[in-house]
Structure 1
Amino acid sequence: MITDIYNWQDQAEQYFIQEKYSQAAELYEQAIAIEPNAISYYWYLGLLLLLQGQEAEAQMTWMLPMTEADEEKLKIWTNELFQVLQIEAKRRETLAEYSLAWLIRQHLREINPSNINNLLQIIILSIKLQKFEQLDNLNGWGLIESLNAKENIEINTELLFQLIKEVLNTIHLHPINLNLIEASLPYFSDPHQCFSMVLPAAIKIGHTLRQPLLAASLLELHLRLEPNNVEILRHLAIFYQDARHYSQGIETARLCYSLSEGLADKIFALHLLLRGLMSAGGYWQEICTTCQELETVYKEFIKAQRIPLEEGRILRLLTPSFAIPHIKDSPANFRAIHNNVAEIFTNYIQSFAQSEGRNYVYRIINHQSFAYHPRKLKIGYVSYALRNHSVGWLARWLFQHHDRDKFDIHTYFVNYTLVNDYLQEWYLNQGGKAHQLGMNGIEIADQIYQDEIDILVDLDSITLDITSQVMALKPAPIQVTWLGWDASGIPAIDYFIADPYVLPDDAQNYYTEKIWRLPQTYIAVDGFEVGVPTLRRDDLDIPMDAIVYLSAQRGYKRHPETTKWQMQIIKQVPNSYFLIKGLAEEETIKRFFYQIAEEEGVDCSRLRFLPIVHSESVHRANLAIADIVLDTFPYNGATTTLETLWMGIPLVTRVGEQFAARNSYTMMMNAGVTEGIAWTDEEYVEWGVRLGKDEALRQQVVLKLKASRQTAPLWNGKQFTREMEKAYQQMWQRYIEKK
């Protein structure tokens, strides 16, 4: 019972702070009985009832005085009630009591449905509370319509930008509503503010979540504010290409190059253009001129005095080299340029790290103590490709057969993402201590250093700039490149794993890394999973007695000279057909093959273009439709070669000088097959024709390949692992002896 009408409010406030809502409500009910015309009492009593979960009673309490109010009073009282609830909603948000804040703001919306700032707060709270079912259609909230109206709208732009950040940051949980971003563009007075929100989100969507088309749509919106923002255009070109919208990707890359001024920017723009042209396949003349331009700009960059570059431009220096070995087989010339760039890259990276206070000092090794009390060697593997990727398929046997009694295995997943990926899950379980990391090279290197890894093995080489950055930082005393590509040329890497065949005898002359040749093969697998085939000759309108040749490679590897050899083979083998499979722009790659076929006098009706099969096991099963597989040059198949040999299909390959031109050679040698290994262009055609015409020879090769499964080094993952482990031990022994 209220005894002092002037002090009861202090008591009610104490009850409110102590969350004794029923006691506070009782005081307000008594006050209303004494002063029924004190309108504010109804607002606070309704709020107290709401906080007790009595929503209907709260609404009735608020409505009670409203029923007798005239229009002027109704407007004043509604505004008063709104302010009371608004203050409490903000207080709850400050306390991170988002559920209560959300509840209060829902009632604020009923009181004033047109208040856009309250609506923004509701959506932000919905995201925080993961009420994503309410965000399925932002149009339904009226927000997009209000933003587009632009008139009579008093919007808190900071609140709007906070909402955009929340939407973009929770993209992995809720599909982005591009309409919201589009409607918000006029409210950005500073385009950089939009850039700083949109670009990181697009990178996450496009690369981590692997939704490049969605990422491209987001960047297209930002271009309305800054049509010539080169950084946006760079990423847009990549996302178009990743989404296989090759024409858009190529045009965007051309625009990037035209807008690029510094040498580093030109290098990367040329990379983007080559990436698009080669992915599409068939743009051979432009590929050659662009490649020549890239080498010219690289040489200018090497000659130039050291140019101040920020981290982003530094990271882009190495990856463009990836294109050149696809175009020509001249490793001595190529590596002379590439190794210089790799050295400059490393100097930049290390200087940048030192300015950040990074200086990795390895623990002191006691040689005698280690000799008498050997411990497990800590081996670290770093890669973005330990997933459904060629590296992921081939590296797993090493992980499976590692001797865990002698080696402590750590696996560093670059750009780890939660996706339904069988191989990634396999590596998480089989990769020893697994570290699920992002895209920050310094943070990854710090983790490796803290783990005191003895030997760090890079599986990516220059195919990912972040991994190159990690290796350049040298977080481990011994660093090795294996499997992912050719050697990176980074001076901080000690060894490059090879074998007696995959590099010529004089290769050390142009490698900065020490070439470590394993005794037999640099790669071995125990086999591949094979599914049920989906290709039949009758479905392709190919006679059952025809000779079927197959080439299954990406557009990257389609070289016109090699394609001419392939057409010469088809021309000389009666009743033969050529099956072509691989990622590329369909119409462009068809024009490429048809033109060369016509030039070589081959009827285009003998060519078949196969659809992409997204199951690796079905892809392997489908290889069995071929009698002979024709390899690419100067960039051979690697995983495709292994799959071909495992399926027992004869292969024709041209051996060159560079690593990429000798992959199939070493694999065939380690499978015990020499039939089909060509050392000249003419031999390539001769082997192709001979295998097509001589059924007995073909069967002989097939039998050899099937028998090799039990005897050949190529199919003995366990033996290969022991050889790799022995190499690690010898590398470590050399290191501690030097120390």
Structure 2
Amino acid sequence: MGNKQVASTHSLFFLQVTFYCMSLEVDWGQCGENAYEVGDFARAAECYEQALLAEPEGTVYYWQLGLVLLLQGKADEAQTTWLLRMLEGSSEQVESWTEELKGILLQAAQKQEQQKNKQLVWEIRNQIQEVDPTDLDNGLHLLELAIQLGNYSGEEIQAFNIIELLQQKSPAEIQFNRLIFLLQQILGTTPLHSSFLELAEAILNRVQNSNQQLNLFNLLLESSIKIGFFQQQPKIAAKLAEFALRLYPKDPEATNHLARLYQDSQQHEKGIEVAREYVLLVESLADKIFASSTLLRALMNTGGHWHEARDLFQKHQELIQEAIAQRPQDLSQLQILRVFNSYFFAPYFQDLPRENRTIQNKIIEVCQENTHFQYEELIKKLHQDRQKHQQDRERKLPKRLKIGYLSACLKEHSVGWLARWLIQHHDREKFAIYEYLIGDRDFTTPLEEWYMAQADEFYKSSLSAEIANKIAEDKIDILIDLDSITVDITFAIASLKPAPIQITWLGWDASGLSTIDYFIADPYVLPDYAQEYYQEKIWRLPQTYIAVDGFEVGVPTLRRDDLDIEEDAVIYYSTQTGYKRHLETVRLQLKIIKEVPKSYFCIKGTSDKEAMQNIFLSLAEAEGIAGDRLRFLDVDKTESIHRANLGIMDIVLDTYPYNGATTTLETLWMGVPLVTRVGEQFSARNSYSMMMNAGITEGIAWSDEEYIEWGIRLGKDATLRQNIAWKLRQSRHTSPLWNGKQFAREMEESYQKMWNIYQQEN
């Protein structure tokens, strides 16, 4: 039956009922009820108005009339109707009438719930909230509805008095499972409002038994991981981890995550304290290695605990060597992911690539063996998929190579900023571009959206086996790992070998995985003999391993007078994370400052600002340098502002044994002279490669003595600085470093050569 036919039938029905009621003088209330039951609220309102004319003292008609007005979207008229009657009653009557009205509204809400009319349920329950703000059950219903309707803002928890009402209830009166479910729904909203923390704590205080305790603990811990590491709200996530530890104070997992969340939310000293607790809680060798790396991370993040971090690193090496000697074969999936990058810190402490790479390759080998045990069936399946892929290609000879880019960092991150030029300049007639984004966030950043728009196809997940299967299903020819050893899921995917050819580019360094075929380098960034200690085959591009078309530059927010620095003074500058603040390099930098009259040292970076200041000031005092020659800058709001503010700097002093990478490119793009100390390892030669490709040799030092000499010479020779700045500006038009399109052609030529080699060998 069509809608018009139904409406016509209803109209005829009510016309008949009305005539019947008029002729027999039957109760108008029945007419209203009949109309209400079939959803004709306008008719129902007319009937209840007639009922009130016939029976002015019929209190229930006021409630029913207000209800049908409400259901027509006339909330103000509904409230006026109810109020008119309430004003006529005594206090005892009003109390009774309130309960009566609430009951009618509750029945109406339940009826609309059955019919799945969520918006009407929302309107009715809001009126119940007005009638009885002490009804916890109704408040919880409203919270659920706000989430379901997409109206949740976080303010509802306070508006509906949820916390206060929960505190008034005894634990026995509370439906705990319902509260857990509601909290879970709230934790799934984005953006996440911090008001839910009060609700989480109120629920925590109402735990009655071990089952409730465990359920709440699991929810709090899982949510803290998701919110902290994927939604990037570590401060809120840390509170959830704190709540979890109130339930199980010695739980190792909660302790570990809290330590990391404190670090990520710039609560550095708390992060160190909790990381020390975590070290004491673990027992197995694999867990001890991870706990040691957690504490190392906490210490190095601050930039001010270098001595303790260096001592711990020696013990950390011993634990890793013990694992290499034992070659355990019973590591869990989680332990594999945690141990594989446990030697991540070595290049920050020492420029010993032969030793570092050997240890790295061996610990990766242990993890890879365990991965094969864990994923034996999947690895067999992926191997069969690769063989079938090769056979299909031989038969069909497709025109385009399928290139897959795998990363958790295709967003506002160094990898994201640098890789975009290759993606943008790819020849789409010869190459199909697939992107595999690692993440579990419910939102995307502008740069991440840009990457998605550039791909022929993209896929996003946080599950390694799922992504590996998708890469195989997509029949990717060449998979490029952009994260290297910095992201655990990337390691897991690459170790499964879902693509015939796998490459590492960008990231930290080569991972050491035997399933990675090539590591992209250039003539400068690795010494000629580096293949001796690399597991992967080093593939050297002809000029540079990285190129960009340039950087966006904003409006500067920093002036010399803001820093109380004279116009004719020389400003040295260093911006890096706490990880890169090797004390020996800091001493070299301060020796330069000491020898250049009227010079200042500006220091900026993501670390514990107070701890970093203390270490720099104490070292300056030891060198006989007044503390007022040092300036500690806050991190700029955006990358483009950071680049603009480089304009007031005269010389940038690079770090060693871990150079700048993105920061070096930005420095050269802005035409600022750079002093870098060249070493042997990849991370100690980044700036050297970039300077050579920009046509600049001034400032390249091969020893500590040369580093100091170049720093002093550049500080004292303004003409030399001007010449370098001019050469850097000119290099924008001629240098391979600033030619993303040419770089893309060189990478594509390499991809084709790699594919040809693969075909010849298979």
Question: Same-fold call, TM > 0.5?
Answer: yes
Aligned pair in 2 of structure 1 residues 542, 49: CA closer, same or farther (>3 Å)?
A: closer
Taking the aligned partners of 1:66 and 1:590, their CA distance within structure 2 comes to: 69
Whether the 8 Å CA contact 1:46–1:62 is kept in 2: the answer is no
Instruction: After superposition, give the CA deviation of every residue in 1:304-329 in whole Å (9 maximum; x if it has no partner).
Output: 35353443333222333222211111
* Structure 1 residue 110 displacement after superposition: 5.7
1:210 paired residue number:
232
2:422 paired residue number:
398
User: Which one of 479, 483, 494 corresponds to residue 456 of structure 1?
Assistant: 479
- Structure 2 counterpart of 1:423, one-letter code: L
* Structure 1 residue 115 displacement after superposition: 3.3
* Structure 1 residue 104 displacement after superposition: 4.2
1:469 equivalenced with 2:492 (yes/no):
yes
Instruction: After superposition, give the CA deviation of every residue in 1:228-260 in whole Å (9 maximum; x if it has no partner).
Output: 222222222222212212111111211111222
2:142 paired residue number:
122
Taking the aligned partners of 1:377 and 1:293, their CA distance within structure 2 comes to: 47
2:539 paired residue number:
516
* Structure 1 residue 86 displacement after superposition: 5.0
Aligned pair in 2 of structure 1 residues 95, 174: CA closer, same or farther (>3 Å)?
A: farther
Taking the aligned partners of 1:463 and 1:670, their CA distance within structure 2 comes to: 26
1:424 equivalenced with 2:444 (yes/no):
no
Taking the aligned partners of 2:231 and 2:632, their CA distance within structure 1 comes to: 30
* Structure 1 residue 67 displacement after superposition: 9.6
Instruction: After superposition, give the CA deviation of every residue in 1:115-137 in whole Å (9 maximum; x if it has no partner).
Output: 3223212221222122335x515
Taking the aligned partners of 1:569 and 1:671, their CA distance within structure 2 comes to: 25
Aligned pair in 2 of structure 1 residues 64, 631: CA closer, same or farther (>3 Å)?
A: closer
1:570 paired residue number:
593
* Structure 1 residue 396 displacement after superposition: 1.7
Taking the aligned partners of 1:109 and 1:358, their CA distance within structure 2 comes to: 60
* Structure 1 residue 482 displacement after superposition: 0.4
Identify the range of structure 1 (154-163 vs 630-639) with the bigger mean alpha-carbon deviation.
Answer: 154-163
Identify the range of structure 1 (338-347 vs 666-675) with the bigger mean alpha-carbon deviation.
Answer: 338-347
User: Which one of 276, 286, 303 corresponds to residue 264 of structure 1?
Assistant: 286
2:122 paired residue number:
102
- Structure 1 counterpart of 2:342, one-letter code: P
* Structure 1 residue 26 displacement after superposition: 11
1:147 equivalenced with 2:171 (yes/no):
no
Taking the aligned partners of 2:316 and 2:492, their CA distance within structure 1 comes to: 22
Instruction: After superposition, give the CA deviation of every residue in 1:414-449 in whole Å (9 maximum; x if it has no partner).
Output: 2275768443343233x3235352422222223322
Identify the range of structure 1 (639-648 vs 57-66) with the bigger mean alpha-carbon deviation.
Answer: 57-66
- Structure 1 counterpart of 2:463, one-letter code: N
1:414 paired residue number:
438
Identify the range of structure 1 (297-306 vs 560-569) with the bigger mean alpha-carbon deviation.
Answer: 297-306
Taking the aligned partners of 2:655 and 2:39, their CA distance within structure 1 comes to: 75
Taking the aligned partners of 2:708 and 2:334, their CA distance within structure 1 comes to: 46
Instruction: After superposition, give the CA deviation of every residue in 1:568-601 in whole Å (9 maximum; x if it has no partner).
Output: 2222333332222222212211221122222223
1:276 paired residue number:
298
Instruction: After superposition, give the CA deviation of every residue in 1:17-61 in whole Å (9 maximum; x if it has no partner).
Output: 865778999999999999999999999999778766687679979
* Structure 1 residue 64 displacement after superposition: 9.0
Whether the 8 Å CA contact 2:136–2:165 is kept in 1: the answer is yes
Identify the range of structure 1 (169-178 vs 650-659) with the bigger mean alpha-carbon deviation.
Answer: 169-178
Taking the aligned partners of 1:52 and 1:646, their CA distance within structure 2 comes to: 64
Taking the aligned partners of 1:57 and 1:541, their CA distance within structure 2 comes to: 66
Taking the aligned partners of 2:51 and 2:649, their CA distance within structure 1 comes to: 92
1:381 paired residue number:
405
- Aligned residue for 2:342, secondary structure, equals helix
Instruction: After superposition, give the CA deviation of every residue in 1:329-351 in whole Å (9 maximum; x if it has no partner).
Output: 11221222222222233333444
2:204 paired residue number:
185
Taking the aligned partners of 2:511 and 2:535, their CA distance within structure 1 comes to: 9
1:503 paired residue number:
526
CA-atom RMSD in angstroms: 3.9
- Structure 1 counterpart of 2:404, one-letter code: G
- Structure 2 counterpart of 1:160, one-letter code: L
Query: How many residues matched?
Result: 735
* Structure 1 residue 658 displacement after superposition: 0.9
- Aligned residue for 1:200, secondary structure, equals helix
Taking the aligned partners of 2:539 and 2:330, their CA distance within structure 1 comes to: 35
Taking the aligned partners of 1:152 and 1:562, their CA distance within structure 2 comes to: 59
Taking the aligned partners of 1:545 and 1:655, their CA distance within structure 2 comes to: 30
How is 1:289-328 mapped onto 2 (pairs within 5 angstroms)?
Answer: 289-304=311-326, 306=328, 308-328=330-350
The answer for unaligned runs of 5 or more in structure 2 is 1-16, 22-29
Identify the range of structure 1 (727-736 vs 340-349) with the bigger mean alpha-carbon deviation.
Answer: 340-349
Whether the 8 Å CA contact 2:479–2:503 is kept in 1: the answer is yes
User: Which one of 625, 636, 655 corresponds to residue 632 of structure 1?
Assistant: 655
The answer for unaligned runs of 5 or more in structure 1 is 4-9
- Structure 1 counterpart of 2:589, one-letter code: Q
1:196 paired residue number:
218
- TM-score of the pair, normalised by structure 2: 0.86
* Structure 1 residue 657 displacement after superposition: 1.4
Instruction: After superposition, give the CA deviation of every residue in 1:346-391 in whole Å (9 maximum; x if it has no partner).
Output: 3334443446798222253668975995510111112122222211
User: Which one of 318, 340, 346 corresponds to residue 362 of structure 2?
Assistant: 340
Instruction: After superposition, give the CA deviation of every residue in 1:668-713 in whole Å (9 maximum; x if it has no partner).
Output: 1212222222222222222222333344444443333333222222
1:603 equivalenced with 2:641 (yes/no):
no
- Aligned residue for 1:322, secondary structure, equals coil
2:24 paired residue number:
none
How is 1:72-87 mapped onto 2 (pairs within 5 angstroms)?
Answer: none
Instruction: After superposition, give the CA deviation of every residue in 1:647-674 in whole Å (9 maximum; x if it has no partner).
Output: 2222221111111011111111212222
Taking the aligned partners of 2:219 and 2:129, their CA distance within structure 1 comes to: 28
Whether the 8 Å CA contact 1:579–1:609 is kept in 2: the answer is yes
Aligned pair in 2 of structure 1 residues 39, 263: CA closer, same or farther (>3 Å)?
A: farther
- Structure 2 counterpart of 1:146, one-letter code: L
1:6 paired residue number:
none
Taking the aligned partners of 1:411 and 1:475, their CA distance within structure 2 comes to: 14
Taking the aligned partners of 1:221 and 1:343, their CA distance within structure 2 comes to: 38
User: Which one of 145, 169, 181 corresponds to residue 188 of structure 2?
Assistant: 169
Whether the 8 Å CA contact 1:47–1:58 is kept in 2: the answer is no
- Structure 1 counterpart of 2:205, one-letter code: P
- Aligned residue for 1:629, secondary structure, equals strand
Whether the 8 Å CA contact 2:410–2:416 is kept in 1: the answer is yes
- Aligned residue for 1:379, secondary structure, equals strand
Whether the 8 Å CA contact 2:590–2:623 is kept in 1: the answer is yes
Aligned pair in 2 of structure 1 residues 395, 70: CA closer, same or farther (>3 Å)?
A: closer
Taking the aligned partners of 2:180 and 2:624, their CA distance within structure 1 comes to: 63
How is 1:672-687 mapped onto 2 (pairs within 5 angstroms)?
Answer: 672-687=695-710
Whether the 8 Å CA contact 1:579–1:610 is kept in 2: the answer is yes
Taking the aligned partners of 2:534 and 2:459, their CA distance within structure 1 comes to: 32
1:249 paired residue number:
271
Aligned pair in 2 of structure 1 residues 17, 626: CA closer, same or farther (>3 Å)?
A: same
- Aligned residue for 2:503, secondary structure, equals strand
